[in-house]
Amino acid sequence: MTTHHNISLVIPKSTLSRLPLYYSHIRKMQQQGEKYVSAASVAQSLNLNPVLVRKDLSGVSSVEGKPRAGFEIDTLLNDLSDFLGYNKVDEAILVGVGSLGRLILTNTEFSSMGLDIAVGFDKDPDLVGLQIGSKYILPMEKMESYIKRTGVKIGIITVPADQAQSVCDQMVECGILAIWNFAFTLLNVPKGILVKNENLPSSLAVLSQQLANKLNNIK
Amino acid sequence: MTTHHNISLVIPKSTLSRLPLYYSHIRKMQQQGEKYVSAASVAQSLNLNPVLVRKDLSGVSSVEGKPRAGFEIDTLLNDLSDFLGYNKVDEAILVGVGSLGRLILTNTEFSSMGLDIAVGFDKDPDLVGLQIGSKYILPMEKMESYIKRTGVKIGIITVPADQAQSVCDQMVECGILAIWNFAFTLLNVPKGILVKNENLPSSLAVLSQQLANKLNNIK
DNA sequence: TAGATTGTTAATCGATTAACAATC
DNA sequence: TAGATTGTTAATCGATTAACAATC
């Protein structure tokens, strides 16, 4: 007996972070004309433990996989994109239109993944009014009314570290519920507000320390 | 009895990824003229469990913290930057001088964290020969000889996903040992090669799914 | 001294992996 | 049928948290 139809199934974060990888890999197979895909083959291609992939997929697939064959690709991709919210678009705002902010604003990939960054905000008057890609830059003073009017729930922070907390506070005050933080600082938020930190220095630390250990032959 | 002097102490990845945060927070306190810092206060400022911070710090500090006072800031910062390799500079090369590649190439923060990106490589002849910030762009054909001549061990991949594996293979072939991958794809590498993936779509998936759950009141 | 803070040991929690029966 | 693949249950592993004695 299996539990299906992802209703109220709690999917762990770790699984969630692998789903986009599965999606893009399986998408590629679909484009190559494949009709079926097995968890086993996905595991092999992505260098993951097969049990892990089976468990992940069985958590999101609306139908059981068929022994020997695997999953029907069309159905599985549909379930994955449903699950990842690629089918319904979330709006977001971005604050801090420096080089990183610009990069994110103009990246078209996000929209295919269900995130539409509606506008950018910046305090620099020289930037205000400009159009970056197809996105307008508004002054910080308009953020509050914008959030309240549109009900947007996701905020992206790409300001320097020392301004991040204050931007964050403003966002939360106005009703933002989820924050994607690219500033190198941890944010203090009230309980219930979601924060995802994108922390390059931390990643770098892990990598270079591991390399140092390796070179020192400290297993 | 305490175990100290981080000699061959294995520090878990999770700890490692928090150290840069500690460093930058404690650095700030130093600049404000503080002499001592307690694990407890760091924990509170960064919204972390105090036991976690104590354990992390006791793993890297060369001296014991003093009950009631905490750690002497100067010593602790020194230990942290030693540990994180901020004192000795690692060289790296970057392949793929698109907008993200450029951003990383010109980011001066990395050099203060012990990573010096020496040159960029790109296959686009229009980019080759250019100087981005202070860094030169070389043609892909020169990568092999560059790596072999300089003995550089870290490679940064900022090419599109469909070219990432081939760039990775070339790097490994030439002797790169650690790869920082910004392309949205998992890389296949021989055992023993370190890879750190910087995966924005995965982060986004986690965040937006959590938000969706929250909005649906599915606890 | 009293109490804040330390470092350690044990308990808990969550995610991954191993083992295995079921099935096309 | 035989064997590849499935989904599940139990074991393992690693990281976080709780409890506590030691100390300035």
Residue B29 CB neighbours (<10 A): 17
Three-state secondary structure call for residue A156: strand
Average pLDDT, chain B: 91
One domain, residues B132 and B31: no
CB B192 within 8 A of CB B214: no
- pLDDT of res. A1: 32
Does residue A49 form part of some domain? yes
- pLDDT of res. B216: 78
Chain A segment 149-208 residues within 8 A of B by beta carbon are 153-154, 161, 177-178, 180, 184-186, 188, 192, 194, 196, 198-208
For B130-159, give one letter per residue: b (16+ CB within 10 A) or e: eebeebebbeeeebeeebeeeebbbbbbbb
Residue carrying the six token digits 């296949």: B188
pLDDT-flagged residues of chain A (< 70): 1-9, 217-219
Task: Give the whole-angstrom CA distance, residue B69 versus residue B63.
Answer: 13
Q: Containing domain of residue B172, as a range?
A: 90-202
One domain, residues B154 and B54: no
Residue of B114, B201, B205 lying closest to A208 (CB–CB):
B114
Q: What are B184's two structure tokens?
A: 């949205």
* Residue B7 clears pLDDT 50, i.e. is over it: no
* Residue B43 clears pLDDT 80, i.e. is over it: yes
Mean pLDDT calculated for residue range B187-210: 90
Residue A212 CB neighbours (<10 A): 18
- pLDDT of res. B181: 95
Adjacent-strand bridge partners of A156: A94, A180
Any residues with CB less than 8 A from the CB of A187 and at least 6 apart, and which?
Answer: A157, A164, A165, A168, A179, A181, A195, A197
Chain A segment 110-129 residues within 8 A of B by beta carbon are 110, 113-115
- pLDDT of res. A81: 94
Task: Give the whole-angstrom CA distance, residue B95 versus residue B102.
Answer: 10
The CATH number given to whatever domain includes residue A58 is 1.10.10.10
* Banded model confidence at residue B9, pLDDT cuts 50, 70, 90: low
One domain, residues A95 and A192: yes
C-alpha torsion sign, points B103, B105, B106, B112: positive
Query: Which residue from A minimizes the CA distance to B17?
Result: A202
* Residue B3 clears pLDDT 90, i.e. is over it: no
Q: What is the DSSP letter of B134?
A: T
Does residue A68 form part of some domain? yes
One domain, residues B96 and B77: no
Task: Give the whole-angstrom CA distance, residue B214 versus residue B122.
Answer: 43
* Residue B168 clears pLDDT 60, i.e. is over it: yes
The crossing angle, in degrees rounded to 10, of helices B13-31 and B50-60 is: 90
Total tally of structural domains belonging to chain B: 2
pTM of the model: 0.90
Short-list B15, B85, B121, CA closest to A215? B85
- pLDDT of res. B1: 32
- pLDDT of res. B192: 85
Q: Which residue has the higher pLDDT, B216 or A83?
A: A83
| Lowest mean pLDDT segment, chosen from A42-46, A136-140, B8-12, B205-209 | B8-12
Any residues with CB less than 8 A from the CB of B134 and at least 6 apart, and which?
Answer: none
Task: Give the whole-angstrom CA distance, residue B169 versus residue B95.
Answer: 12
Does residue B69 form part of some domain? yes
Residues B108-153 have pLDDT tens digits of 889 889 999 999 999 999 999 999 999 999 999 999 999 999 999 9
C-alpha distances out from residue B110 to A116, A200, A212, B86, B198, Å? 30, 9, 17, 9, 16
* Residue B217 clears pLDDT 80, i.e. is over it: no
| Residue with CA nearest to C4's C1' atom | B68
- pLDDT of res. B8: 42
Contacts with B162 from chain A: Cβ below 8 Å: none
Strand D bases with any atom < 7 A from protein Cβ: 3-9, 14-19, 22-24
- pLDDT of res. B163: 96
